Amino acid sequence: MVRQDRYRSDIAMFRLPAPVVFFALASCLAFPGELPAAQEPARAVVSQTVKDLGIVGLGTDPEAAFTIENRGTSALEISVAPVATGLRVVQADRTIAPSASGDVRVAVDTFRAGVTTEWKVEVTTNDPGTPAIELTVKADVRNFLTVAPPSARFNFVQYGPEGGTSHIVSAQDETPLEVLGVDAPADFIKVAWRELKTPAERDADLPGRQWRIDLTIKGDAAVGPIEGYAIVRTNHPRQPRAFLPVTGFVRPLFAVTPASITLSAPPEPGDTAFRTLVVKNFGEPPLEITKASSDIAGLRATIVPVDAGHTWRVELRRDAAAAGTWTSGTLRLATNHPKVKELTVPLQLAGGAESPR
């Protein structure tokens, strides 16, 4: 009897009053929106996966834009795989918010397109229903302008006589062509253009109006390779620009080999250090090296002609007993050219240690 009373007493301790139970149940039924809702994944939708740009002119940069919508409730993440030769990615919106749209824009590189007329662009997404999207770009690249000869090449010696190349530009479809201007590939190349009107100067094999383009290299051209395009600007409706490849090299008037000298310190007083340089004149007119000098005491430079006016050997000898110390200096070779009056050759002591100067 005592055990039953104790059991009833324990139940009474945990029994909630009826109004409390009713309020808790009513709260759960009255505010269902406060429970966390399941979030839908991103959903990628592309209304047009093929863009046909039609006929495009060589040297133009046509673009194709694809719109991707996100119809899900999570952010859509996209990435574009490396594109094939002939295409380049201009823009790609990597993250697209819910209920928003983004773009993938690609351009046709008409110079590298070749004979291809169709390119595929692979796009991957975090949409579980559409993990990959294939976009297609179509274009028919054509050359409407003819440039003859189709390229220019220079092999020039600095400060030599000015020279150049001439080319004829015409429209293959006989559009009434006008040349509006020509952009030089380098500051040291001059350009000029004019229309060819008389039968004697026109090319009988080319149709329509013809224009002559002249490229002339200046005497003070920078030493080094020449690489670029002379860009011919025209009024052609399909191909407003023609591109003339320009290549070549500008050599220095004089070349010294080696370009710098590392001398070994003579081990004992009275010994002589000996090195030889070769100097070449790449220009046609003969020139002279009139004097050799240096700022290192005891260094003697002897000029020995090998090919009169064009090649010399310069022999360096140094007496170890010369007073003073040095780690570096300069050999100076005087010439009789009005523009290149002196050649300088850096001299360095091997190991950077000091030697009698």
Encode pLDDT of 223-248 as tens digits: 999 999 999 999 999 999 999 999 99
pLDDT tens digits, one per residue of 269-295: 555 667 899 999 999 999 999 999 988
* Distance between CA atoms of residues 283 and 357, nearest Å: 36
Q: What count of other Cβ atoms lies within 10 Å of the Cβ of residue 246? A: 21
Taking residues 158-170, report their average pLDDT: 94
CA torsion sign for 158, 161, 162, 163 is negative
Instruction: For residue 7, name the pLDDT band (cuts at 50, 70, 90).
Output: very low
**Of the listed ranges 175-179, 303-307, 325-329, the one predicted with least confidence:** 325-329
Res 261: pLDDT: 87
CATH code matching the domain that covers 145-251, chosen among 2.60.40.10, 3.40.190.10, 2.60.40.420, 3.40.640.10: 2.60.40.10
* Distance between CA atoms of residues 131 and 127, nearest Å: 5
Residues 56 and 108 sit within 8 Å (Cβ to Cβ):
yes
Q: Bridge partners of 262?
A: 348
Taking residues 99-123, report their average pLDDT: 92
Query: What is the fold, at CATH topology level, of the domain defined by 254-356?
Result: Immunoglobulin-like (2.60.40)
Instruction: For residue 29, name the pLDDT band (cuts at 50, 70, 90).
Output: very low
* Distance between CA atoms of residues 23 and 30, nearest Å: 10
Domain 46-142, CATH: 2.60.40.10
Mean pLDDT of the chain: 86
